[in-house]
Amino acid sequence: MEGLRWDGTGGIPTFPTFASTEQVERCAFDAAVGQHQHYAEYSYLNMRAWDTKYRGVAVLNGNLVLRFFDADEGTTYLSFLGTRAVPETAAELLAAAAALGAAPRLRVVPGVVVEGNGRMQRQFRVAEDRDTDYVLSLLAWRTLDGPIFADIRYLVGRCLRLHNLDFRMIDPDDRAHRQEMVRLMELRASQKGVAGDPAIDEEADALGRLLAVATKARLVTSALFDGRCLVAFSIDEVLGNGYGLGHFWKADTSYDGVYQYMQYRLSEVLLGRGCTFHNIGQDLGIPALAAAKRALRPCAMLKKYTISPGPGTDHLVGAWHPTVPDPSVSVSVA
């Protein structure tokens, strides 16, 4: 299929042309995402770090379109974020899916796109996706007040009583620190019984890619040390819309309460950087990961949805005819 002309200079082309993740500059991506950049899938750094998952970027009707690859299922699928001409955008993407080699449904579509949109509910089959983002209140975590945080207060106190840990910021570009972070990834895999899993190497590679493109002034890289030994680290991004977004978080769980203590100390730092909320990432549809994130007492969960053709749109499947795009809704680098 021939796409529309695009010069590949860092902006985002209009669907059906897709840019690769490396071709899109951050300013163009952030302009397309706008105020909704706190959704984990729609993070520029996540897109660049996990480049085997993200397979293309486009805009349609002023909305950002992402093409994903699901390695577990071996399938490609589309998603979009935005609030302009939502039913029309969903219809065109579903109609084009077969021609693009994608599944006949849209996945991980953020709740802001479909919630409260009556036309979407009437024209399509809309169901909650298996994946959810978890958001913590940093103000609540700074104080840990009330019965809801009783178990977390206990674990934080236990960690303080049993272990003499030093919390501090570290330089993620420091070679020794980077080696220690990878060592901790491997240790955590061993503790979970998955030592040697190729996913550990993929995670270490993703860490390197993230740090290669990140704006360091927006990163908060914190760590806990037992003497000179790194026992926990967290890499978070200050988004500028009141949110901090977690990218990597690993800890040696032989230290009781280490994750809870790390979050407690990190909350004060993120508050000082102007954040009110902390998106600690998605659960990937994994029940154990979902339970662990719920145990941190999120104040909100960012739901995502799967959109499939409905009674009024079944005829769209395989019946795609590309429209001439309106260049005014393309996103380019100024």
Identify the DSSP state of 65. Answer: E
Enumerate domains of the chain plus CATH numbers.
21-131+304-329 (3.40.630.30), 134-303 (3.40.630.30)
CB distance 247 to 235 below 8 Å: yes
CB distance 282 to 294 below 8 Å: no
C-alpha closest to that of 231 among 167, 281, 301: 167
Q: Is the peptide bond before 16 cis (omega within 30 degrees of 0)?
A: yes
End-to-end distance of the chain based on CA atoms, in angstroms? 29
Pairing state of beta strands 54-60 and 106-110?
unpaired
| Count of C-beta atoms within a 10 Å radius of residue 165 | 20
What was the pLDDT predicted at 8? 54
For 173-228, the DSSP string reads T-HHHHHHHHHHHHHHHHHTT-TT-HHHHHHHHHHHHHHHH--GGGEEEEEEEETT
CB distance 13 to 6 below 8 Å: yes
C-alpha closest to that of 110 among 33, 3, 177: 33
Gap between the Cα atoms of 235 and 170, Å rounded: 10
**What pTM value is reported for the model?**
0.89
SS3 121: helix
Pairing state of beta strands 75-81 and 63-70?
antiparallel
CB distance 287 to 148 below 8 Å: no
pLDDT tens per residue across span 214-223: 999 999 999 9
Backbone angles phi, psi at 249, to 5 degrees: -150, 110
What was the pLDDT predicted at 330? 42
Would you give the distance in Å from CA 27 to the centre of its chain? 18
- Name the helix (H) or strand (E) containing 232: strand 229-238
pLDDT tens per residue across span 292-312: 999 999 999 999 999 999 876
Pairing state of beta strands 75-81 and 277-282?
unpaired
Backbone angles phi, psi at 57, to 5 degrees: -135, 135
pLDDT in tens, the chain (334 residues): 333 344 555 689 999 999 999 999 999 999 999 888 789 999 999 999 999 999 999 999 999 999 999 988 899 999 999 999 999 999 999 999 999 999 999 999 999 999 988 899 889 999 999 889 999 999 999 999 999 999 999 999 999 999 999 999 999 999 999 999 999 999 999 998 888 888 889 999 999 999 999 999 999 999 999 999 999 999 999 998 899 999 999 999 999 999 999 999 999 999 999 999 999 999 888 899 999 999 999 999 999 999 999 876 666 655 555 554 444 444 433 3
Gap between the Cα atoms of 93 and 65, Å rounded: 9
What was the pLDDT predicted at 328? 40
**Cβ contacts of 296 within 8 Å, gap of 6 or more:** 134, 136, 152, 259, 260, 263, 280
**Cβ contacts of 221 within 8 Å, gap of 6 or more:** 169, 170, 171, 172, 233, 234, 235, 236
- Identify the residue whose tokens are 């974020």: 81
